[in-house]
Structure 1
Amino acid sequence: MPVMHFRIRWPDGVEANCYSPSTVVGEFFTPGNTFPVDDFVARSREALTIGSERVREKYGFACSAAMDQLAQIEADAGRFDARPGALVTVLALD
């Protein structure tokens, strides 16, 4: 399966390189776009779940790395619960 990474910038300026087991993430994010934190998390959840299911269809088991990535995104997003209107920027897809 083609792996894809998406580089993001959290509202506090911290950058992260995120993993997806599938190129499906490209259907959810475009470099230069910004998203409210909760929307970014929801999009990540959907994209990574689809990617994990694609792995299951091909190999017979879900992608634990995709679920680990989602857990990290959700944990990081928690830093901004008290900051309504905070935005995540998608920097790159590769």
Structure 2
Amino acid sequence: MPVTHFRIRWPDQSEAVCYSPSSVVTAHLDAGRTYPLAEFVSLTRVALVEASERVRMKYGYACSSAMDQLQAIEAAAARFHDQPDATVQVIGFGR
């Protein structure tokens, strides 16, 4: 279950490096693709919950870091909810 980081670009052109305890995030997001804000948040939520559950299955407890990352993404995305055409670009993945 390799830790995977993914770099994103928010609508204001700021960048962030995000954490996933599992590479499952690469099954939900595509490097180089730009997503509508709501779709990005939704896909990220699914990916990070799934990653946390993989940790639970292997170690017997959920991954709090994945849930912290999800909370940070949701909080950052809230800044752009008033922009109907807001998008988030997934720049790439790393370990």
TM bucket, shorter chain: over 0.9
Q: CA deviation at 1:35?
A: 0.4
- Matched letter for residue 11 of structure 2: P
Q: CA deviation at 1:85?
A: 1.2
Q: State the superposition RMSD in angstroms.
A: 0.5
Unaligned runs of 5+ in 1: none
Find the counterpart in structure 2 of residue 74 from structure 1.
74
Unaligned runs of 5+ in 2: none
- Matched letter for residue 79 of structure 1: R
In 1, Cα distance between equivalents of 2:68 and 2:85 = 26
Q: Is the Cα–Cα contact under 8 Å of residues 33 and 89 in structure 1 kept in the other structure? A: yes
Find the counterpart in structure 2 of residue 25 from structure 1.
25
Q: CA deviation at 1:60?
A: 0.3
In 2, Cα distance between equivalents of 1:51 and 1:32 = 21
Q: Deviation per CA, 1:50-74, whole angstroms, max 9, x where unpaired?
A: 0000000000000000000000000
* 1:5-84 aligned within 5 A: 5-84=5-84
In 1, Cα distance between equivalents of 2:47 and 2:75 = 17
Q: CA deviation at 1:31?
A: 1.3
Query: Runs (4+) of structure 1 moved beyond 6 Å?
Result: none
Q: CA deviation at 1:30?
A: 1.4
Give TM-score, length-normalised by structure 1.
Answer: 0.98
SS at match of 1:80: coil
Taking only the aligned residue pairs, the percentage that are identical comes to 57
